[in-house]
Structure 1
Amino acid sequence: MTKILLINAGSSSLKWQLVEMPAERVIAGGQVERLNLPGTIVKVEVGDKKTKETVETLDEVTAVNRVLKRMVTVGAVKSLDEIEAVGHRVVAGGTVFKQPIKLTPSGISQLKELSELAPLHNPLEVKCIELLAQRLAGVPQYAVFDSSYFHALPEKTAIYGIPYEWTTNYQIRRYGEHGISHAYLAQQAAHQLGRPLGELNLITLHLGSGASITAVKDGKPFDTSMGLTPVTGLIMGTRSGDVDPSLVPYLMKRLELETPDVVLHELNASSGLLGVSGVSSDMRDLHEAAKENPRAQLALDMFVNQVVKLVGAYYTEIGGADALVFAGGIGEKDPEIRQAVIARLGVLGIQIDPQLNKAGQPGALQTKDSACQVLLIPTNEELAMARDVQHLMAVAQN
């Protein structure tokens, strides 16, 4: 048996699991929520024992250090020496990395060069990789890429309406994000529906601080909301989502800027739900603030509207869907958002059972006469990553 530590560092949270492979037994796991925000929440689960504490603001480095310390104090391992491999979720592999890899110094350098494709993620993930290389010296580390899943997109949805030479010369295309999650959700939906994945049309909604929606046609990714970088698509916690590209030079002129760096940073780090509401990037804060704050309610309304718009577009693009799949921190835990989205999709005949939705248990949430199924499937990127790491380790031994 091999103990593998999985690190899933997102833009506002860090999820982790310690998994025993090939048995796929989760020894321990947890999540650090509200990274870089006041009142960071640290959750740890070992068997039936769950702990939750709210601490001062943690960044990704202090969060990783706390996770390593907690694994020992809660008895997940007697010492960190028991960890035999580490797997990292990495958002952007570009055209350089089309499959999972074992990390080397040159590989890490290449990841740094791809940071502009995922400015909120790749630098953070490289920090975690370098920190764990120090803390777990000699333990092999692996990278599993979100973008790998979307290399299968058909060209008509993968590229932009720009000179084709730009596409080929500079590898400009839709790379997507949350590919590990979307692939897992599609597989789990097929299992739950009891049908071969290749026969299914699905719309998978990974809704969290980072949010993306993917259309799956005949079991394969057909379109996805994120593009060259994760700033595009839906309005998100701190990311703007789709904007007119002319906005960048316009603001550079108005703000008297010499480079686009400031505007691009603001679109990634100060926009989205945070920028519109002026309150928070966290959906829980917005629900509370919306009772008295019109801008907080506006942010919620914009999020729901954009989800509805994309689902409607994808529904027609792939010729109807067998199921909509909700996942992610918002998709799994926010019944108000699910209800609001499905209510707007009633024009397509999609309906949700209010009691099932409020209960929020994994499984089917639709009414009996709904035009397609509505599934709540908790994503498990860590398990998908563990399987990839286990495969690479097995190949190296043979």
Structure 2
Amino acid sequence: MNGKILVFNAGSTTLKYKLFNYQNNDLTVLKHGFVQNIGLRTGPKNHLVALSLLFSDLAANLPSLAHIDDLVAIGHRVVYGGNEFRTITKLDSFVVDKLKKYNSIAPLHNPPILDVITDILKHSGRKGHRDIDNYAVFDSSFFSNLPQHVKIYPLSYKLYRDNKIEKFGFHGISHQNVIEEIQKKYPSTHKIISIHLGSGSSITACIDGKPIDTSMGFTPREGLMMTTRSGDIDPGILIYLVQSKIVKNIDELDKIINELSGLQGVSEISSDMRDLLYVANLPMEDNDYKVNSNLKNLPDIYKEQAKLAIEMYCYKVQKFIGAYFAILGGCDVLVFTGAIGYGSNYIRNKITEPLQHMLGQTKIEYIETDEETQIAEEIINHVF
């Protein structure tokens, strides 16, 4: 089958699209665009507003779905599908309703993603385009075959058996994309550690392209320190906060660990790594960065907190690299991706330079992840 494939990728604060043409086993990008800072001071209110910007040609040159000739499929990145959705899935209102029950597990991602999907389903059903199928590709699918000793938490086995409390993993589409790119560049590579550093951050250990461990778990809150998420912390802290009435309820607790922790929480300045590098007077290589006037002439205490947040962030990554290096028995390629991982040479060097005694001959690469192409290829492989 030949035709055009449209892919939407909704992140916690971004909405991206790519329009592909697939002809004679060749996939090419026709158009692409994005809206960022959704829900933040400098961006649109929510993802539906961002989607309307794309459709209205204000933020990207995206025509109405009804006017895309030869459009045969629409793909969506969905963060979490649990055990119920482990492979690419055709979307309809019934499936969307089923996915809504997982909103509490990925509250920063699933709700806006499903809002976008619901609106796209309506658009793709207009003006004679009712036969355009929508498909979900799940971030968690890449990790569906993790070993049991990795997947199961050291809790009561009953929680795993009856409630499916287990490690699912996230950022799977991104990790799979960069790992496959590394395998193309180095065909003899066996052991890869993939590090995705963006709004969310995770690290994955792979042997021959198959993940054997990953830092995120039952939810995207586990693992590395992130821009607003805490990552790994002592669970006793959460119990203490509730028992001591420092937090009023579970919703407030969730807000703390999901939105008010990480770089944002430690620095008390910003969740944007570029802001912290600026405040800390450290190298910041983004030529498009525009400093917020509120960050100028801050008291010295904030400079120190920015440095501390950066130090903690990099240290957490180093710990996971060391652990994965050990379980892999070495590493052929260490690859960085994500807005921070790909975009900041300073952060990459700060993470890797203290590990040179261990890394030895390990190649260090950085690749801009292409989740949209990965989703399009999944559609081609499983649907066309």
User: Does the alignment pair 1:186 with 2:179?
Assistant: yes
* Pairs within 5 Å for 1:183-332: 183-195=176-188, 200-255=190-245, 259-291=249-281, 292=300, 293-332=303-342
Secondary structure of the residue that 1:342 maps to in structure 2?
A: helix
- Whether the 8 Å CA contact 1:4–1:85 is kept in 2: the answer is yes
TM-score in terms of structure 2 length: 0.87
Q: Once the 2 structures are TM-superposed, how far is the Cα of residue 31 of structure 1 from its aligned partner?
A: 2.6
Question: Structure 1 residues 269 and 10, CA, compared in 2 at 3 Å: closer, same or farther?
Answer: same
Q: Which amino acid aligns with 2:17?
A: W
Structure 1: distance between partners of 2:60 and 2:258: 36
Q: Once the 2 structures are TM-superposed, how far is the Cα of residue 267 of structure 1 from its aligned partner?
A: 0.8
Structure 2: distance between partners of 1:73 and 1:225: 34
Secondary structure of the residue that 2:318 maps to in structure 1?
A: helix
Q: Which amino acid aligns with 1:176?
A: G
Q: Which amino acid aligns with 1:70?
A: D
Structure 2: distance between partners of 1:72 and 1:339: 34
Question: Structure 1 residues 391 and 218, CA, compared in 2 at 3 Å: closer, same or farther?
Answer: closer
- Whether the 8 Å CA contact 2:57–2:63 is kept in 1: the answer is no
Q: Once the 2 structures are TM-superposed, how far is the Cα of residue 73 of structure 1 from its aligned partner?
A: 7.1
Instruction: Give unpaired runs (5+ residues) of structure 2.
Output: 282-299
Secondary structure of the residue that 1:24 maps to in structure 2?
A: strand
User: Does the alignment pair 1:65 with 2:52?
Assistant: yes
Q: Once the 2 structures are TM-superposed, how far is the Cα of residue 220 of structure 1 from its aligned partner?
A: 1.2
Question: Structure 1 residues 332 and 393, CA, compared in 2 at 3 Å: closer, same or farther?
Answer: same
Secondary structure of the residue that 1:194 maps to in structure 2?
A: coil
TM-score in terms of structure 1 length: 0.84
Secondary structure of the residue that 2:203 maps to in structure 1?
A: strand
Q: Once the 2 structures are TM-superposed, how far is the Cα of residue 286 of structure 1 from its aligned partner?
A: 1.2
RMSD over aligned Cα atoms: 1.9
Q: Once the 2 structures are TM-superposed, how far is the Cα of residue 78 of structure 1 from its aligned partner?
A: 7.7
* Pairs within 5 Å for 1:1-398: 1-22=2-23, 23-40=26-43, 57-70=44-57, 74=61, 77=63, 80-82=66-68, 83-137=71-125, 138=130, 139-195=132-188, 200-255=190-245, 259-291=249-281, 292=300, 293-348=303-358, 350=359, 370-394=360-384
Q: How many residues align?
A: 354
- Whether the 8 Å CA contact 2:195–2:341 is kept in 1: the answer is yes
Secondary structure of the residue that 2:176 maps to in structure 1?
A: helix
Secondary structure of the residue that 2:315 maps to in structure 1?
A: helix
Instruction: Give unpaired runs (5+ residues) of structure 1.
Output: 41-56, 351-369
Q: Which amino acid aligns with 2:74?
A: V
- Whether the 8 Å CA contact 1:249–1:260 is kept in 2: the answer is no
Structure 2: distance between partners of 1:194 and 1:254: 55
Q: Identity over aligned residues, as a percent?
A: 37
Structure 2: distance between partners of 1:71 and 1:103: 28
Structure 1 runs (4+) greater than 6 angstroms displaced: none
Which shifted more, 126-135 or 167-176? Answer: 126-135
Structure 1: distance between partners of 2:280 and 2:47: 29
